Copies of this chain bind each other. A is one copy, B any other.
Amino acid sequence: MSIQTANHSALTPLRFLERSAEVYPTRTAILHGERSYTYGEFAQAAQLLAAALAADVAPGERVAVLTPNTPESIFAHFAAPLAGVTLVALNTRLTRPEISDILRHCEARVLLVDTELVERIEGIRELVPSLTKVIEINDSVSGLPLTGSSSVATDYESYVSAQTPLTTTRPYEVADEDAVITINYTSGTTGTPKGVMYSHRGAYLASLGSVVHNQFTAESNYLWTLPMFHCNGWCTAWAVTAAGGTQVCLRAVDADAIWDAIDDLEVSHICGAPAVCTTIATADRAHALDRPLRITTAGAPPSPTVIGQLEEIGVHVVHVYGLTETYGPFTICEHQAGWPDLPADERAVLLSRQGVGMLQAEQARVVDLDMVDVPADGETMGEIVLRGNNVMVGYFRNKAATEEAFHGGWFHTGDLGVMHPDGYVQVKDRAKDIVISGGENISTVEVEQALLRHPQIVDVAVIGVPDAKWGEHPRAFVITEPGVTLSVEEVVAHAREWIAGYKVPRDIVFADGLPRTSTGKVMKHELRTR
């Protein structure tokens, strides 16, 4: 008996690969340097990896990937659900302790790791009891030889080719559309990463929304600058597959590589943090385009200067807003009919707003502490709350945090904002102690805890400060033991031992004390005005 009935099938992104492999078997699905896969080959690769995973990971258990943007990561986004297991895509900038914490928390069974990152996971099996196998992805584009590391069981090619010839094709379907398809770990305010669970249904709808809003078609060429470990690349691996378009992988964000792809591969779509926009706009090779290119950006509003530079060369810039908890983008700053005629600075102000709920999402609300909508006056601050199919299932094995996030029946973003009279939301400040730098979430609490491990640091507070390139960067106010003088370099070197490089504050302010409330809470708003 089939999982599906005649008039009801469970929503799952797996359908997208099934369809494109049938309709466009010889069309190019994935490009990566000299490597290239048709949709037929893509489906075959996903089936092979699924067969291999199914032998090592029980249904519902987790498989993790630690890799730059490579075809194998795209394969895994389909292979894991095909095998009935849950995918955990790890941030490639995490340190060994951070990675092992996550793998322990999700009890990962198998880890796929790119050659470039194998040294990061040396000895990890001793730290993660559940982990039975580490597979090395040796991407020829990296130019690196297999590591031969004793931590690695085998390499990816051997792992999957052991399944050939495939005797059965797994069906591109799922029994329960509310089942968990992936878990994305995100820095929480407590400093402990939380595992954000996505469902098949949510991923399917977010992908369709992405197709509609990005206008992905079978002619689209999508360039991967956004990491696939961020909200599963905003569900774009699924969305571009739905449209039958081509995904172009990039191991690292690099102006030359991006412009090569734009010029030689007719890239039509890019998603990324404002820093990526800046990289593209300010590259020496930047030039006027003769084809449409759409860049969707989030994490911080794009600066008027960068918007102006991009529009001048013919790029259409779209600003979206979301969180790991919302499958990536939830709102979009829809361009209105009259906007192209406005002066550039006025338009930039409008485009800097986070906007309105996307088609597959619901309206964003801005509410006061009693969950009452604030006036839509563009001035009254409240918390931005969201709900609907574009909101996560919950935090994996963290009922308390899930309940807190969902109190009142809405997901609490922790972002403070205003509602404009035209229904557009604008983020004004962050209620949670998170700094977003270059599109990465940095928990200020986590940074503070790392700094406090230094024997001569007695107190610390970290805030986010505006940064022209990265949107924000973390600034640490450090109080040392009386009579002790530390250098910035000493503090940075200490922090690097404990947290990923992108979290390490270089902006250190040595202070005499911190402003605290009567209950002992640091008044960070006071620090921000210093």
Contact = CB atoms under 8 A, between A and B. Distances in A.
A423 interface: yes
B19 A387 contact: no
A9 B388 contact: yes
A186 to B, nearest CB: 16
B388 A8 contact: yes
A3 to B, nearest CB: 10
A400 interface: no
Contacts of A27: 337
Contacts of A11: 389
Given A23-B334, A23-B356, A423-B23, A387 B7 contact: yes
Interface in A359-402: 359-360, 362-363, 387-389, 391-394
Given A23-B334, A27-B337, A212-B211, A6 B359 contact: no
Nearest to A408: B6
A4 interface: yes
A208 interface: yes
A9 B356 contact: no
A1 interface: yes
B19 A357 contact: yes
Nearest to A211: B212
A329 to B, nearest CB: 15
B22 A363 contact: yes
Nearest to A21: B423
A159 interface: no
Contacts of A212: 208, 211-212, 242-243
A8 B389 contact: yes
Given A23-B356, A359-B242, A6 B423 contact: no
A9 B388 CA distance: 5
A334 to B, nearest CB: 6
A5 interface: yes
A1 B371 CA distance: 13
A305 interface: no
Given A334-B23, A357-B19, A409 B2 contact: yes
A132 interface: no
Contacts of A24: 334, 336
Interface string A156-180: 0000000000000000000000100
A7 B211 contact: no
Given A6-B411, A7-B388, A211-B359, 13 more contacts: A6-B409, A7-B202, A9-B362, A15-B359, A15-B362, A22-B423, A23-B334, A23-B423, A24-B334, A24-B336, A208-B360, A218-B334, A242-B359
Which are the 4 A-B pairs with shortest beta-carbon distances?
A7-B391, A9-B388, A6-B406, A6-B387
